[in-house]
Every structure is written in C-alpha cells, then in structure tokens.
Chains A and B, each alone.
Chain A
Amino acid sequence: MPAHEPVLGIDLGTSYSCVAVMENGQPTVIPSEWGERTQASVVSFLDDGRIQVGNDAKRRMLTHPRQTIYSVKRLIGRFVFAPEVKKAKAVCPYEIVEGPSHGIRIKVLDEVLSVSQISALVLKEMKEIAEGYLGQAVTKAVVTVPAYFNDNQRQATHDAGRIAGLEVLRIINEPTAAALSYGFGKELNERVAVYDLGGGTFDISILEIGSDTFEVIATAGDTYLGGDDIDMRLMDHFAEQFMAETGVNLRRDVNALQRLREVSEETKKAFSTKKKVKVSVPEIHTDADGNIYDFNTMIGLETFIQLTMDLVQRSFKVCDEALQSANMSVHDIDGVILVGGPTRLSLIRDSVRHYFGKEPLAGIDPDEVVAMGAAIQGDALLDSESTAFLLDVTPLTLRLATVGGYTEQVIGRNTPVPIDRTRTFTTSRDNQERVKIRILQGESNRVEENEMLGEFEFAGFRIAPRGEVQIEVTFEIDSNGIVNVSARDPETGQSAATTVSLSSGLGEEEIQASAEQVQAAELIQR
C-alpha cells in the first residue's frame, strides 16, 4: 500500500474521459463496473430530475437531444463571443445562453448550469467509478487539459474539480502526461514528440526525457481542431448528398442531425481498418406529408481523405511551429507518441509517419496514456521518495494591453514555469488613486486577437503628482500554468490592493452553490 491516499489521474476529454490510479507502483486504468475503460463525457438530464453520465447518457443524445449535453470542453472557460461558442450554438441541439460577465451557461429543463458544473458531473462520475473500484472515498486528483489551454480554461477546469468535491492537486498538460506515462521508470535519454489529436483539440509537445526528468522544450496547439471536426466534415458531406438526392435539408431536423452525427462518428472509426464503408440510416426523416426517407450510401477512403486532408495538414503547420520554437527539425526527434482516439485512423498514422519520417512508437494506448500519466504525476507529488518530475512551459504569451489597442509581451510562450516577471508602472495623472491593467494571453500584437484574462486594478499607494509614484507589478505563472498578478509600491514595500474584474470565471458563491448541488446529486447507476 502506498504511504499516501490514492490520487486519481483524470483525462477529462472532449468526447471521452478516462480515470487511472497508481497500484503497486504502476499506473492502472480503472474500468467501470461494466468493464468500460473510457466513459463518454456526456451528461443527460432526465425529466424526473435525475442525472445520467457516461456511455448510457451518450445513447440518450438521440432520444433526448435537448437535455443531453456533450462536448462542453469546447466551451469551458470561454466568453460568449468566442468563435467556438458561436459555432457550437449553430450545431448543438442543447441551449447555450449568456451568463454573468459574458460567461456561458447551459439551459436544460428550466435550469441554468455553468459549463464547469457540467464538467463537474463528468468528474463526479469518474470519482464514483474509482471509489467503487478502490472501495474507499477519494478526494484528490490530477486533471489533464490540452497543453494549449489558456488560463481561463485551466481555471474553469480547476473549478470543475472543486465542484465535484475533488481537490485538484495539479492541472497537467495532456501531451506531457502522455510522455510521462511513456518514459516512466524506463531510464530513457531521448527527445520525443507527442502528437495529440483529441476529440476537440490538437496539441503537439516536444520533450526531452533524461531518465526521470521530463523537460518540455516547446508546445503548440490548436484548440479548434479535433476528431469532432472530422465527424463534422462527414456529416456535412452526407447532408449535402441527401439534399442532392431528395431535396430535403437535414440540417433543419434536429433528430436527423443527431443520427447523422452518430453515423459520421461510426464511419470515421470504420476507416481505421476499412477502405470502403457502407452507411445506412433507415427512416432518417419524415416530411410534412408523412413520407419516410432512408439514407443509404457508400463512401470510399479516398473521398474520406479528400474531405479531411486540410484538417490533417493544419495539424502539421502546428508541428512546424513547435519544432521551430524548439530550434529543432524532425531529424532531432527520437520517437513520436500518438495520443487521442483519432490517431487510430490510418489517415493520421500515415501522415504522421510521413511528416516525422519514422514509425510512431507502438504499444501506447492513445485513449488511456494521458490518464495514466496524470496518475503517475499525482503519485509523484504526494510521494516524498519519488524522483520523477516535470519541467513544463507556458504555452501562450502573457501580454499587457497598452495604448491604441496594442499589447506588449510580458512572458513569452514556451517559457519554463514557474517564473515571474516584474514591470514598473507609473501614474499618468496627478493624484491618481488607482492603476488599471488588462492582461491577455495569445500571439497577436492586437488586443482583440488575444484571449482576455482579466482586468486588474491596483490602489492603496501614495497619492502624488503624476509620474512620481511607481508601482511594481509582478506577473507570475505557477506550476499549474495558472497566472497570478500582484503589485507593490517599491518605495514603501507595501503591496497594493488588487481587484480582478472582467473574468470569465465563476464567483466563489456560484462555485459553492454548484458544489453543494453536484455533490448531492445522485447519478443513475445501472
């Protein structure tokens, strides 16, 4: 038995989630009672007020599309005006509404829930599966996020853990977790690239593994690229085809669209082994006159590749970026780790082999490796004897808004963490009482092209003519990749009072209220 209580490693995915724990010094994936090793990240609200999570809930996507919530990871920590949210509003059958301070809420059966709360229900299900397996209560977890997640998305994931009744010891990056799982206990000395194509996001990380030290050299990603996008391409293709054949627009039929989505996902999966796939959806649509339509077609691998090749190419542009940032070329990479369900596709595997000029590493389960890495990290954090440790980087440039809608870099992307950086500001008006700064994350010079993290206001310094007072503002990125900002008057050494506004996150009150609700909720057991 380990000296400390168990820590769960949870891969909270866009489409599927997975939980693992250390057992006898080895990471072990915990299956559900029914032997399923991954659970759908889907939450369905029943009419009688009960809640169902996981693979059974996914089955309800067809029958109860308006009250079955999926792919919320695409929405977590985003503002209502983000392009991803607009896209989701157009295609999701459930209702997405605006919450306080431009946040997002989801309306189900007259209840309004935050995105963190939905994710919390998925985490609660994972926690319960683990507790059933371990036969004891579990309170601690390491949760993974895409490496390219910004601070808002990380904070919102952290909040989800708290709401689910879990102390999140650490938020770690999915590709980093995968590398940890691959290199753990192997005494390696090599450079690896982790190509992580998930349901909704793409990440590439380059790491240098030196026995038990895992140093991330560079990471890059696209939070708008994933397996779901491949499904969408197929879905669009099928809808077009159906329209051409029958004149009926299935995009206006919520139920038909759901079935088309399901069959698209199945078709995609079938292409990991087949060259041709037969698609059949009986009674997909009934028109106003009561005519019933079936959808039958045959699609070849070549068409599938044509439909999705640009998505795959986009991932390699991101790989170029990461290699450049690491000052490396593909020849410097000793091994390639594939992560995420879509990397099972021959289309992806072939392209990756071609790009890196080598066979991806075998024997790594792309659906389970991330949760296993998170379990290893959780154990390493609590075990005083552990020697394995991670040196990670911040994926995005931290910026300050300056005049005229421009920004200035404070901490560059791919800078190792933890780190801090201090800037000195001065007052611009006589007797100025407060100084306001806006903090952003992203790679653009322009304010509007970056993600807004928050607006900070400092007060409590000396009142004096303009330019006389200096305020030292320290920007800090901790080991969780979470940004902290503090200010002090260098003359007096006194720290200034800081208030944060314009944050997409939840207030403390909402977190507490959600936590009570979620922790009391009874999830349906089969």
Chain B
Amino acid sequence: MEKKFSDEVAALAGLIDEMSYYQILCVDPRASMGQIREVYHAQSRLYHPDRYFWLPDGQFKQDIYKISKRVTEAYVTLRDVQKRRFYDRQLQRSESRQLRYTEQSEQAQKQAKVEETGKTEKGRQLYRQGMAEMKRNDFVAAERTFKMAMAYEPDNELFRKLCEEAGGNIKTDYKIT
C-alpha cells in the first residue's frame, strides 16, 4: 500500500463526520440518479473493504471499513428520490450540522410527508401517482403528473420542485451505458 494513499484514507476517515453525502461520493448535489450510481461504483472501487482484504488487519483496514460503510449510506440515501429530497432540505438548514440521514431524519420525513402531500384531494392523489412514477424511474410520466398537480395547487412549492426534479432526470438514463 502506498503511503500517500494510506495517509489520505486516514485523513478521510477522520473527516468523514464533517462531510455531506455529496462530498463523500465526490459528486455535484445536482447529479442525476445515473451519476450517483456511477460515483458509488467509483468510490467503492477505491474504498470497498474487499479491495484490501489481503492486507493484514490494522488501522488502515479499520479506516477503510468506516469510509466504506459511509459510502454505502450516502448511496442508499441519495438513490432514493424521497430520502434525497428530504436530505437536501436538511442540508440547507444545516446550522445544526446534521450531515447524515439518521433515525431522526426518518421520523421527521414521515411527519413532513403527512403535512405536505397536497391541500386538495386531487393534488394528493396526483402526488402519490407521481411519486410512484419517480420510483419506477419513469420521469417523463412523473413530470407530466406533477404538472397536472400544479394545475390544482399552483402555489404548492413541493409540486413545483418535484416537477423540476423529474424533468431534470429525464435526459439522464438510469442505465449505465
């Protein structure tokens, strides 16, 4: 193992609690789903414990393990449309320096979901439909659905954001090419 790399790993392991998921994955916060997956593969190539299995146990392997678990956590959060959206908002009001998607985030997200999913019956229905389409990575349909939802609730900030998000994902194919 090159000393330079093991120093980098030690530094990264020490700093990882101060890093956002985007920083951990070395990716732009506006990255598409396909890009998130690509960087997950790239970071795993660098930090997955299996890559260093042949080395004797020690601090380096402990550091790698710590980084690897956090890389997985970042991927798991950012690949999920709803979790990612919540996480992004959490980052924006980050005076609390809450950089991880934790048990509390999950609770808060559940709470927020109840409050925000539309003021009209039709709006809520379209919201559910659109989210399901996002989950299937059918961003074309999702964009259309959220546009319709905005017709019912023109000042719903969430619907506008989701519509943009769906639109932003259309061009970037989910599949690695």
Q: Which of B63-108 contact A (CB under 8 A)?
A: 65, 68-69, 72-73, 75-76, 102-103
Q: Which of B13-57 contact A (CB under 8 A)?
A: 41, 44-45, 48-51, 53-54
Contact of B136 among A191, A327, A389, A423 (CB under 8 A): A327
Cβ of B44 and Cβ of A213 under 8 Å apart? yes
Cβ of B48 and Cβ of A389 under 8 Å apart? yes
CB-defined contacts of A380 to chain B, threshold 8 Å: 50
Cβ of B72 and Cβ of A382 under 8 Å apart? no
Distance in angstroms between the alpha carbons of A213 and B44 in the assembled complex:
9
Cβ of B54 and Cβ of A384 under 8 Å apart? yes
Q: Which of B157-176 contact A (CB under 8 A)?
A: 175-176
CB-defined contacts of B45 to chain A, threshold 8 Å: 213, 387, 389
Q: Does A169 contact B (CB under 8 A)?
A: yes
- Report the nearest B residue to A327, measured CB to CB: B136
The smallest beta-carbon distance between B19 and chain A, in angstroms, is 16
Given A391-B44, A422-B103: A210 and B176 within 8 A (CB)?
yes
Given A213-B41, A420-B69: A391 and B103 within 8 A (CB)?
no
Q: Does B137 contact A (CB under 8 A)?
A: yes
Q: Which stretch (A148-156, A411-419, A513-521) binds chain B?
A: A411-419
Q: Which of A17-39 contact B (CB under 8 A)?
A: none
Q: Does B135 contact A (CB under 8 A)?
A: yes
Cβ of B53 and Cβ of A169 under 8 Å apart? yes
Residue from the set A169, A390, A479 with the largest chain B CB neighbour count within 10 Å: A479
Interface size class of A (residues with CB under 8 A): 20 to 34
Given A416-B72, A420-B69: A479 and B136 within 8 A (CB)?
no
How many residue pairs link A and B with beta carbons under 8 A? The number is: 59
Cβ of B76 and Cβ of A415 under 8 Å apart? yes
Contact of B54 among A381, A421, A423, A476 (CB under 8 A): A381
How many residues of chain B get a CB closer than 8 Å to chain A's CBs?
24
- Report the nearest A residue to B41, measured CB to CB: A213
Cβ of B54 and Cβ of A189 under 8 Å apart? no
CB-defined contacts of B49 to chain A, threshold 8 Å: 418, 479
Distance in angstroms between the alpha carbons of A381 and B48 in the assembled complex:
11
Given A210-B176, A381-B53, A384-B54: A419 and B44 within 8 A (CB)?
no
Distance in angstroms between the alpha carbons of A68 and B137 in the assembled complex:
53
CB-defined contacts of A384 to chain B, threshold 8 Å: 54
Q: Does A522 contact B (CB under 8 A)?
A: no
CB-defined contacts of A417 to chain B, threshold 8 Å: 72
Q: Does A4 contact B (CB under 8 A)?
A: yes
Cβ of B50 and Cβ of A419 under 8 Å apart? no
The smallest beta-carbon distance between A309 and chain B, in angstroms, is 30
Q: Does A448 contact B (CB under 8 A)?
A: no
Cβ of B68 and Cβ of A418 under 8 Å apart? yes
Cβ of A418 and Cβ of B65 under 8 Å apart? yes
3 closest Cβ pairs, A-B complex: A381-B53, A419-B72, A416-B72
**30 sample A-B contacts, Cβ–Cβ < 8 Å, listed by A number:** A4-B54, A169-B53, A189-B177, A208-B176, A210-B41, A210-B176, A213-B45, A327-B135, A380-B50, A381-B53, A381-B54, A382-B53, A387-B45, A389-B45, A391-B44, A391-B48, A416-B75, A416-B76, A417-B72, A418-B65, A419-B72, A419-B76, A420-B69, A420-B73, A421-B103, A422-B102, A423-B103, A424-B103, A479-B49, A479-B50
A→B interface (CB under 8 Å): 4, 169, 189, 191, 208, 210, 213, 215, 327, 332, 380-384, 387, 389-391, 415-424, 476, 479
